[in-house]
Structure 1
Amino acid sequence: MVDEDLVLVDRPAEGVQRLTLNRPAKRNALSNALRARLFTLLEEADRDRDLRVTILRGAGTCFSAGYDLGGGTGAPYPYHTAPGAGHWPRHVVDGAFRIWDLAKPVIAQVHGWCLAGGSELATACDLVYVAEDAQIGYPPVRTMSPPDNQFHPWLCGMRAAMEMMLTGDAIDGLEAVRLGFANRAYPADELDAAVVAMATRVARVPTDVQAMNKRSVHRGMEIMGLRAAIRAGTEIQALAMTTETSRATFAEVRESVTKALDSRDKGFGDYRTSR
């Protein structure tokens, strides 16, 4: 049975659907059940003639803290990806490109933590608007691997991407805009209204035209090599999982996710260890 409460649905304006990841007690950790529900709703919206754009946000204190390392990323999967070595990163990238290849635009509305798989989900969207105090990062580079979906150099440039990859540090919403991760940043209490206003503007363009507009930008990025580079990155991520440090980290995760994350971040004094 599908748990429809995993993603809340409303229509805040004409032609606009809003999807809210709804696992606030788990910081909207991306379980496969939640992902399955999300992709179903996105694909239904792409077929709905009354909808022209979708907003994606998170309930509670954050957008998403990443994939559900507490056991929520195993089978069944939301869609088929060829099995074998590197299945998970290839599966995640398949999902990102499923969003890219939708006819209708998807807008990420980011507040609070936007980490690891949560940041990958945001970057798969066509537009990204953030709270000024949002915290966006990929801390798994410290003990596990580079991202499944290696978007950083494409959005943020080589130097910024390298710093993020070599430290795992988070950036705030204002820095995310400066680096090119996000379109615009707003005070947290103004974010909802600002995103609905932008979605309403996007929805004024008919879907048949908008689909071509969206595709033209993606094709330009793909000619420069984005899709091939991100696909190739999945194999680097899979190889990283064979390192001694990564294997030791996952052994610790199996004992206690909290302990493993604390161990990862305590030397840096950030994320959950900052308090």
Structure 2
Amino acid sequence: MPRPACRPSGAAAWSAARGGRPAMSDDTPLLVTREGPVVRATMNRPARRNALSEAMGAAWDALLADLARDQSARVLVIAGAAGHFCAGLDLTEVASDESPEAKLARQQARNRRTGQRFADISALPQVVIAAVEGSCHAGGLGFCCSADIAFAAATARFAAPEVRRGLVPAQILPWLARRTGRTAATRLVLEAAVIEAAEAARIGLVHQVLPDAAALEAQVQATIAAVLEGAPGALAETKGLLAALGPISPDGYAEAGAAAFARTASSEEAAEGIAAFKAKRKPRWAA
């Protein structure tokens, strides 16, 4: 039998991630647990609303590489610790004292990896379910939209705030457009406003809104049960057929998006936008 994709940390670890402060979150930015064929990946940086750090990204990449080879895993559930899903990129890792050339190269490489990560999630043979509570912003939308099925609690809030930070939504944009359609995605990324769960469901960003965390988990469990009724090979082939209906973006988009993100992340606008965000004030261009 193929080896498991990940080592389960036990029910107690999963319970901590769902309901409170997980232990050693700095050491475990992605908490992975497993019950039989069901793998749960919980983004585990609650003090930062589970913002995506370099360490969390590396943990994601390792998990996805394992799952791509694991024929015994059948479902992946993506969630966030302590009542939030993912607030997007950790902006403290965008600002730096590097030379402009070094910063440009680092941000381009990071954004390229981000885009590939969402593609890898979508391409998994397992059925991927996103369970969203609280903040689902920026890169968090990429995790939500690259999942096959997405559910949200009524507490969930969604936003693509990049332009308000002097950045661009480079690698989430194709996934948003595929999930919601280009018109709704356009408004979301240009207004950059926060929308509530009901509006997210109306535009197709999530498939269903549940009243609270308990109801959200009950729906996830019901969907897992339904998926496990399907044949593993047939489900994987069906996902392949869905992918064959058309590419997520044109050839060259991922590289162009990474370059655009790197340029903006290295700009004076980004420096001002990130500083304003940290200071909880409006940036100069909005004053």
Asked if Structure 1 and Structure 2 have the same fold, meaning a TM-score greater than 0.5 normalized by the shorter chain, the answer is: yes
Q: Which of residues 17, 32, 39 in structure 2 aligns to 1:9?
A: 32
Change (3 A) 1:264 1:120: farther
* Residue 112 (structure 2) aligns with: 90
- The answer as to 2:206 corresponding to 1:187 is no
CA contact (8 A) 2:64 2:120 kept: no
Q: Which of residues 175, 183, 189 in structure 2 aligns to 1:165?
A: 189
Q: Note the alpha carbon deviations across 1:154-178, whole angstroms, 9 max, x for none.
A: 3222332222122101222221121
CA contact (8 A) 1:4 1:37 kept: no
CA-based RMSD: 3.2
Change (3 A) 1:128 1:216: same
Counterpart CA distance in 1 for 2:146 and 2:177 is: 14
Q: Which of residues 267, 273, 281 in structure 2 aligns to 1:247?
A: 267
Q: Please, what TM-score do these two structures have when normalized by structure 2?
A: 0.76
Counterpart CA distance in 2 for 1:85 and 1:25 is: 23
* Residue 19 (structure 2) aligns with: none
Change (3 A) 1:156 1:7: same
User: SS at 1:262's partner residue?
Assistant: coil
**Alignment-mate amino acid for residue 263 of structure 1:** K
Counterpart CA distance in 2 for 1:139 and 1:10 is: 31
Q: Which of residues 169, 173, 176 in structure 1 aligns to 2:200?
A: 176
CA contact (8 A) 1:32 1:72 kept: no
**Alignment-mate amino acid for residue 150 of structure 2:** V
Q: Please, what TM-score do these two structures have when normalized by structure 1?
A: 0.79
CA contact (8 A) 1:119 1:136 kept: yes
Gaps of 5+ in 1: 75-82, 269-275
Q: Note the alpha carbon deviations across 1:45-71, whole angstroms, 9 max, x for none.
A: 343343211101000131011111112
**How many residues align structurally?**
252
Q: Where in structure 2 are the equivalents of 1:142-153 lying within 5 Å?
A: 142-149=164-171, 150-151=173-174, 152-153=176-177
Deviation at 1:257, TM superposition (A): 5.5
Change (3 A) 1:168 1:256: closer
| Farther-moved stretch of structure 1 (55-64 vs 175-184) | 175-184
**Alignment-mate amino acid for residue 267 of structure 2:** R
* Residue 273 (structure 1) aligns with: none
Deviation at 1:148, TM superposition (A): 2.0
Among all aligned residue pairs of Structure 1 and Structure 2, give the percentage whose two residues are the same amino acid.
29
**Alignment-mate amino acid for residue 87 of structure 1:** A
* Residue 278 (structure 2) aligns with: 258
Deviation at 1:99, TM superposition (A): 1.3
Change (3 A) 1:267 1:163: same
- The answer as to 2:50 corresponding to 1:25 is no
* Residue 60 (structure 2) aligns with: 38
Deviation at 1:211, TM superposition (A): 0.9
CA contact (8 A) 2:111 2:261 kept: no
**Alignment-mate amino acid for residue 159 of structure 1:** T
* Residue 259 (structure 2) aligns with: 238
CA contact (8 A) 2:177 2:185 kept: yes
Q: Where in structure 2 are the equivalents of 1:68-79 lying within 5 Å?
A: 68-71=90-93
* Residue 201 (structure 1) aligns with: 226
Deviation at 1:123, TM superposition (A): 1.3
Deviation at 1:130, TM superposition (A): 1.0
User: SS at 2:51's partner residue?
Assistant: coil
CA contact (8 A) 1:69 1:253 kept: no
CA contact (8 A) 1:65 1:115 kept: yes
**Alignment-mate amino acid for residue 82 of structure 2:** G
